[in-house]
């Protein structure tokens, strides 16, 4: 701005010089010589001014600590990368989930459970459960083309929000409260409390009321909350451990062991299969009393409420 003002002032002086010379009758040669001298002075002044600006700018930059200058240079890049990282960390699990084509069909066992390890069971008893319209337990589940979108404003640490009004009546049915412990060594889940009376998934795992207890014919159906995997922390000293405790159960593979301990008796289950269903598919709660299974249920993909992931495990003798 200062340089622009100086150049304008010099231009005005040059115009005044020409006008005065013409007024006084001075020849054009003399005017041009004086103008040349004036132009040379203008050029010299401009160079001097430029040099002073560069000198001040250089010394101003040198006066700033090097660390501060370096930080100012790389900070925009760091903030940009951080933004991409945060967005990517939230979207990657969902993209990876669908790109990996996480099948709804039952996974094949790596190695079948030896027949001599399976516990003997009673004959089949018809399950008393809430089935989807036209669906029966044991039939192959046919999925629709896409996930069902749920109300994300609901609090899904409250198990009662996972179900329709039909299931709410079952959840509220008074019954004897039973508490036991779940351990999954592969996922570093230790001494997780399971109760069959309540709906608060931020305080414990919840066994769906009316499903079998550990070791009994049928299958305990245990629900747990999940969040994005980067927030997964099932450690005992984490007061919010139950908010993320089932975030990684869908990474279990056939043969992985799950332990339930009730009244000092430990029951060993071996992961058998994993599948996913719509949020409205309540047939997963049905009890097939010709087997002794365990079902673990959470929301998938992790950190969303689009579908339900179900782990099925078989009780074995050890």
What is the model's pLDDT at position 165?
Answer: 54
Whether residues 307 and 223 share a domain: the answer is yes
What are 182-233's pLDDT values in tens digits?
999 999 999 999 999 888 899 999 999 889 999 999 999 999 998 887 778 8
Whether residues 49 and 124 share a domain: the answer is no
Residue 7's pLDDT band (cuts 50, 70, 90): low
Structural domain tally of the chain? 2
What is the CATH number for 279?
Answer: 2.40.260.10
Each as own residue / partner, the long-range contacts of residues 68-71 (CB below 8 Å, 24 or more positions apart, any chain) are none
Q: Is residue 214 part of a domain?
A: yes
Domain range spanning residue 212? 117-316
What is the model's pLDDT at position 40?
Answer: 80
What is the model's pLDDT at position 142?
Answer: 41
| More confident position, 68 or 115 | 68
Q: Is residue 179 part of a domain?
A: yes
What stretch of H or E contains 181? strand 179-184
Torsion, CA 283, CA 284, CA 285, CA 287, rounded to 10: 90
What is the model's pLDDT at position 28?
Answer: 65
For residues 293 and 314, give the distance between their C-alpha atoms in angstroms, rounded to a whole number.
5
Whether residues 139 and 15 share a domain: the answer is no
Q: Is residue 107 part of a domain?
A: no
What is the model's pLDDT at position 78?
Answer: 82
Tell me phi and psi for residue 25, to 5 degrees.
Answer: 80, 25
Whether residues 20 and 156 share a domain: the answer is no
Tell me the pTM: 0.58
What is the model's pLDDT at position 275?
Answer: 93
Domain final residue, candidates 63, 83, 102: 63
Q: Is residue 93 part of a domain?
A: no
Q: Is residue 69 part of a domain?
A: no
Q: Is residue 104 part of a domain?
A: no
Whether residues 20 and 162 share a domain: the answer is no
| More confident position, 179 or 76 | 179
Q: Is residue 45 part of a domain?
A: yes
What DSSP designation does 19 have?
H
Whether residues 11 and 136 share a domain: the answer is no
Whether residues 50 and 186 share a domain: the answer is no
Count Cβ atoms within 10 A of the Cβ of residue 121 and give its class: 0-12 exposed, 13-18 middle, 19 or more buried: middle
Whether residues 219 and 143 share a domain: the answer is yes
Q: Is residue 132 part of a domain?
A: yes
Whole-number mean pLDDT of the chain? 74
Lowest mean pLDDT among 84-88, 188-192, 207-211, 291-295: 84-88
Whether residues 41 and 122 share a domain: the answer is no
Whether residues 37 and 130 share a domain: the answer is no
What are 257-276's pLDDT values in tens digits?
999 999 999 999 999 999 99
Whether residues 245 and 125 share a domain: the answer is yes
* pLDDT of 277 strictly over 60: yes
Whether residues 148 and 280 share a domain: the answer is yes
b/e map 54-79, b = 16+ CB within 10 Å:
eeeeeeeeeeeeeeeeeeeeeeeeee
| More confident position, 35 or 313 | 313
């Amino acid at each position: 701005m200062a340089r622009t003002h100086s150049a304008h002032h010099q231009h005005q002086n040059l115009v005044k010089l020409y006008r005065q010379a013409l007024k006084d009758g001075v020849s054009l040669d003399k005017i041009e010589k004086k103008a040349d001298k004036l132009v040379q002075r203008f050029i010299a002044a401009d160079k001097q001014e430029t040099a002073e600006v560069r000198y001040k700018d250089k010394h101003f930059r040198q006066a700033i600590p090097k660390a501060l200058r370096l930080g100012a240079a790389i900070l925009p890049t760091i903030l940009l990368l951080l933004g991409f990282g945060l967005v990517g960390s939230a979207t990657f699990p969902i993209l990876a989930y669908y790109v990996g084509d996480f099948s709804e069909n039952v996974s094949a066992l790596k190695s079948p459970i030896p027949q001599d390890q399976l516990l003997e069971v009673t004959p089949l008893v018809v399950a008393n459960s809430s089935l989807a319209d036209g669906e029966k337990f044991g039939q192959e589940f046919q999925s629709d083309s896409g996930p069902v979108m749920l109300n994300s404003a609901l609090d899904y640490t409250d198990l009662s929000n996972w179900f329709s009004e039909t299931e709410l009546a079952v959840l509220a049915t008074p019954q004897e409260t039973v508490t036991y412990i779940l351990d999954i060594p592969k996922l570093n889940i230790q001494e997780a409390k399971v109760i069959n009376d309540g709906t608060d998934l931020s305080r414990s795992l919840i066994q769906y009321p009316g499903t079998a207890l550990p070791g009994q014919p049928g299958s305990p159906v245990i629900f747990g909350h999940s969040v994005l995997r980067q927030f997964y922390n099932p450690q005992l000293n984490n007061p919010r451990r139950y908010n993320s405790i089932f975030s990684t159960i869908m990474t279990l593979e056939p043969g992985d062991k799950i332990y339930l301990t009730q009244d000092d008796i430990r029951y060993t289950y071996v992961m058998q299969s994993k599948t996913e269903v719509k949020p409205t598919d309540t047939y997963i709660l049905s009890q097939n009393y010709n087997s002794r299974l365990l079902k673990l249920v959470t929301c998938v993909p992790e950190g969303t409420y689009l579908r339900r992931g179900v782990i099925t495990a078989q009780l074995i003798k050890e």
